[in-house]
Amino acid sequence: MTTETRIEEMDAKKFARLEDLARQLNSKSDTLNTLILELEDRLNATKIGVSAWLDVEIQREGPYSHDDEQRRMSAYSIGFCRMKNGEWHIATRKDCWSLNSNNEFEEYIYREEPVPLTSAPRAIRADAARYFDRLVDEIFKRAEAYIENIDTANRLMATDGQEDGQSRNHPRTTPLVDHEAVKKLFKTK
């Protein structure tokens, strides 16, 4: 058997396997897009209106030197936010930061505008998928913190800062938020 024949046989086997992997990956990618859209729909149905970004690094690049010889790193992060068109999406954005001489974070150089995760390259979508549960937890945590902040403001306004707790004559002494409705937001259907 010649070397050329062995290469052709090897290539045929590898490419047959590669074609099979491509079919599987494309099918899984389609499924992933459906999952992203379902999660977005579910979050949007709650009308939560809370932005949240996770402090994770997806598809990290670097360290590398730039034209100005500044050492940099970049990575994508995942979040849920309102886009410029007013729609809420699970999104990704690229962050770039400089490093000091010890390769430690120094400062952010830029942060790109978020894009819907469904529009991101497959590698970013696939890596981001493992953080979906954490993202929902972060939205929940922020919503609870906002409720507490609003409750604090309501208490301050209701008492007008009086230590005896006596309410002043103010037109709005009822809470601004229906707490029970907010707690139900993330319960399963």
What are the tens digits of pLDDT across the range 159-177?
Answer: 765 555 555 555 555 555 6
What count of Cα atoms within 13 Å lies in the side-chain half-sphere of residue 50? 20
Confidence (pLDDT) at 67: 65
Confidence (pLDDT) at 11: 78
- The pLDDT of 12-28, averaged and rounded, is 89
Q: Where are the domains of the chain?
A: 3-131, 141-183
Of residues 13, 38, 124, the one with CA closest to residue 78: 124
What are the φ and ψ backbone dihedral angles of 80, each rounded to 5 degrees? -130, 120
Q: Return the top range by mean pLDDT from 12-21, 83-92, 148-157, 161-170.
A: 83-92
Dist. CA 127–CA 123, nearest whole Å = 6
Cα 138-141-144 angle, rounded to 5 deg:
150
**CB-based contact 139:52 (threshold 8 Å):** yes
